[in-house]
Structure 1
Amino acid sequence: MQKNTFLLLIIYAILSLEGFCQNLSLKVYGETKVETRVIDSLNYLNRHNDYASVLLEVDSIQNALFKMGYIANKRIGINKKNDSVYTAQFHLKKKYNTIYIYYNNLAVDPSVLKLISQDVFDDYFILPFTAVERSLVFINQKASEQGNPFSTLKLANIRTDKTNLKADLIIDSKEQKRTIDHIVIKGYKKFPKSYLKHYLKIKPQQTFNLNRIKQKTDLLNDLKFANQIKAPEVLFSKDSTTLYIYAEKTKSNSFDGFLGFGTNEDTNKLEFDGYLNLNLTNNLNFGESFSLLYKSDENDQKTFRTGVTLPYLFKSPIGVDLRLQIFKKDSTFTTVNQSAKMHYQINSKHKVFVGVTATTSNNLLSSNNFQNIADYDSNFYTLAYQFLKRQNTNLLFPIKSDLYLETGFGHREATNTKEKQSQYTIDAFTIFNLNDKNSFYFRVNGSNLMSDTYFENELFRFGGINSIRGFEENSLLASLFGVLNTEYRYQINHAIFIHSITDLAYFENQMTNDKEKLFGYGFGFGILTKAGLFKFNYANGKTENSPFKFSNSKIHLSLIADF
Structure 2
Amino acid sequence: MKSCFLAVLFLLAFGSATCLGQEVFRLVWEEGKEASLLLSDRSQALAKRDSLAQAFLRQGYLEGFFSESRSGDTVLFAWAPGRLFGWKEIAEGNVPSPFVEKLGKPDLSYPAPYEWMELVLELAEDSGYPFAELRIDSIQVEGAVLSGRMDYQSGPYITWDSLTVAGNSKTKEVYVQQLSRLNPGTAFSQSDLEKAAQTLRKSPYFTLVGVPELTFQTRQARPIFTLQDRRFNVFDGVVGLLPNENEPGKVLITGEVDLRLYHLGGKGRDFSIQWQRLNVQSQSLDIRAKEAFVFRLPLDFQLGFSLLKQDSSFVNRSLDLDFGYRASDGAYLSFFTRRQAGDLISVEGFGSGQDLPSAIDYRWNRYGMGLDWDRLDSPTTPRRGLRIQGQFSLGNKKILENTGLPEEAYEGLDESSPQYQAWFSVEKHFFVKPGWGMWIRGVGALLENENLFVNEFFRVGGLKSIRGFNEKSFFAKSYGYLNLEQRLFLDQSSYLVLFTDLGVVQNPYANEKIDRPFAFGTGINLDTDGGLFSFVFALGRSNTQPLSFSYSRIHFGYLARF
Q: How high is the TM-score relative to the length of structure 2?
A: 0.80
Q: Where do residues 235-246 of structure 1 align in structure 2 (5 Å cutoff)?
A: 235-246=215-226
**Equivalent position to 2:158, from 161, 168, 178:** 178
Output the amino acid matched with 2:222. T
Q: Specify every segment of 5 or more residues in structure 2 that has no aligned partner in the other structure, as ranges.
A: 1-20, 351-355, 402-414
Please tell me whether the aligned partners of residues 44 and 61 of structure 1 are also in contact (alpha carbons under 8 angstroms): no
**Equivalent position to 1:283, from 264, 267, 272:** 264
- 1:151, distance to aligned residue in structure 2 (A): 2.5
Relative to 1, partners in 2 of residues 1:401 and 1:554: Cα closer, same or farther, differing over 3 Å? Answer: same
Q: 1:98 maps to which residue? A: 87
Please tell me whether the aligned partners of residues 463 and 469 of structure 1 are also in contact (alpha carbons under 8 angstroms): yes
- 1:87, distance to aligned residue in structure 2 (A): 13
Paired with 2:88 and 2:395, the residues of 1 have a C-alpha distance of: 67
Q: 1:373 maps to which residue? A: 359
1:189-211 alpha-carbon deviations (Å, 9 max, x no partner): 75344544443211112322335
Paired with 1:338 and 1:287, the residues of 2 have a C-alpha distance of: 22
**Equivalent position to 1:261, from 241, 258, 277:** 241
Q: Where do residues 153-552 of structure 1 align in structure 2 (5 Å cutoff)?
A: 153-160=134-141, 164-173=145-154, 175-187=155-167, 191-193=171-173, 195-264=175-244, 267-298=248-279, 300-365=281-346, 367=348, 369=350, 371-392=357-378, 396-397=381-382, 401-415=386-400, 417-494=415-492, 496-512=494-510, 514-543=513-542, 547-552=546-551
Paired with 2:390 and 2:297, the residues of 1 have a C-alpha distance of: 24
- 1:299, distance to aligned residue in structure 2 (A): 5.2
Please tell me whether the aligned partners of residues 299 and 475 of structure 1 are also in contact (alpha carbons under 8 angstroms): no
Q: 1:562 maps to which residue? A: 561
Output the amino acid matched with 2:367. Y
Relative to 1, partners in 2 of residues 1:98 and 1:290: Cα closer, same or farther, differing over 3 Å? Answer: same
- 1:73, distance to aligned residue in structure 2 (A): 8.9
Output the amino acid matched with 2:506. E
Output the amino acid matched with 1:374. I
Output the amino acid matched with 1:553. S
1:353 counterpart SS class: strand
Paired with 1:105 and 1:499, the residues of 2 have a C-alpha distance of: 62
Paired with 1:437 and 1:314, the residues of 2 have a C-alpha distance of: 45
- 1:547, distance to aligned residue in structure 2 (A): 4.8
Paired with 1:396 and 1:86, the residues of 2 have a C-alpha distance of: 52
2:550 counterpart SS class: helix
- 1:89, distance to aligned residue in structure 2 (A): 13
- 1:27, distance to aligned residue in structure 2 (A): 13
Please tell me whether the aligned partners of residues 265 and 552 of structure 1 are also in contact (alpha carbons under 8 angstroms): no
Paired with 2:251 and 2:217, the residues of 1 have a C-alpha distance of: 73
Relative to 1, partners in 2 of residues 1:209 and 1:374: Cα closer, same or farther, differing over 3 Å? Answer: closer
Output the amino acid matched with 1:342. F
- 1:86, distance to aligned residue in structure 2 (A): 13
Please tell me whether the aligned partners of residues 160 and 221 of structure 2 are also in contact (alpha carbons under 8 angstroms): yes
Output the amino acid matched with 1:225. Y
Please tell me whether the aligned partners of residues 97 and 130 of structure 1 are also in contact (alpha carbons under 8 angstroms): no
Structure 1 or 2, whichever has the larger Rg, is: 1
1:492-516 alpha-carbon deviations (Å, 9 max, x no partner): 3345421112111111112346111
Q: 1:32 maps to which residue? A: none
- 1:518, distance to aligned residue in structure 2 (A): 0.8
Paired with 1:378 and 1:27, the residues of 2 have a C-alpha distance of: 79
Relative to 1, partners in 2 of residues 1:399 and 1:199: Cα closer, same or farther, differing over 3 Å? Answer: farther
- 1:483, distance to aligned residue in structure 2 (A): 1.8
1:129 counterpart SS class: coil
466-475 or 288-297, which moves further after superposition?
466-475
1:453-508 alpha-carbon deviations (Å, 9 max, x no partner): 12222122221112211111222212111122211111133454211121111111
Q: 2:120 maps to which residue? A: 139
Relative to 1, partners in 2 of residues 1:247 and 1:546: Cα closer, same or farther, differing over 3 Å? Answer: closer
Paired with 2:543 and 2:166, the residues of 1 have a C-alpha distance of: 59
Please tell me whether the aligned partners of residues 288 and 311 of structure 1 are also in contact (alpha carbons under 8 angstroms): yes
1:77-111 alpha-carbon deviations (Å, 9 max, x no partner): 999xxxx999999995x643334111235536114
Q: How high is the TM-score relative to the length of structure 1?
A: 0.80
Paired with 1:60 and 1:334, the residues of 2 have a C-alpha distance of: 74
Q: CA RMSD in A?
A: 4.2
Q: Specify every segment of 5 or more residues in structure 1 that has no aligned partner in the other structure, as ranges.
A: 1-20, 29-35, 115-119
Output the amino acid matched with 2:148. A
210-219 or 297-306, which moves further after superposition?
210-219
Count of residues in Structure 1 that have an aligned counterpart in Structure 2: 516
- 1:188, distance to aligned residue in structure 2 (A): 5.4
Paired with 1:59 and 1:224, the residues of 2 have a C-alpha distance of: 45
- 1:553, distance to aligned residue in structure 2 (A): 0.6
520-529 or 257-266, which moves further after superposition?
257-266
Paired with 1:85 and 1:524, the residues of 2 have a C-alpha distance of: 60
- 1:539, distance to aligned residue in structure 2 (A): 0.8
1:249-299 alpha-carbon deviations (Å, 9 max, x no partner): 332211222111122356121111121111111122220111100000125
Sequence identity percentage: 21
Output the amino acid matched with 1:380. R
438-447 or 272-281, which moves further after superposition?
438-447
Paired with 1:89 and 1:214, the residues of 2 have a C-alpha distance of: 40
Q: Where do residues 86-125 of structure 1 align in structure 2 (5 Å cutoff)?
A: 92=82, 95-104=84-93, 106-107=95-96, 109-111=99-101, 113-114=103-104, 120=105, 125=106
Relative to 1, partners in 2 of residues 1:172 and 1:500: Cα closer, same or farther, differing over 3 Å? Answer: same
1:231 counterpart SS class: coil
Paired with 1:78 and 1:523, the residues of 2 have a C-alpha distance of: 64
Paired with 2:51 and 2:252, the residues of 1 have a C-alpha distance of: 82
Where has structure 1 moved over 6 Å in runs of 4 or more?
25-28, 36-45, 58-66, 84-91
Please tell me whether the aligned partners of residues 95 and 152 of structure 2 are also in contact (alpha carbons under 8 angstroms): no
Please tell me whether the aligned partners of residues 289 and 303 of structure 2 are also in contact (alpha carbons under 8 angstroms): yes
2:554 counterpart SS class: strand
- 1:236, distance to aligned residue in structure 2 (A): 2.1
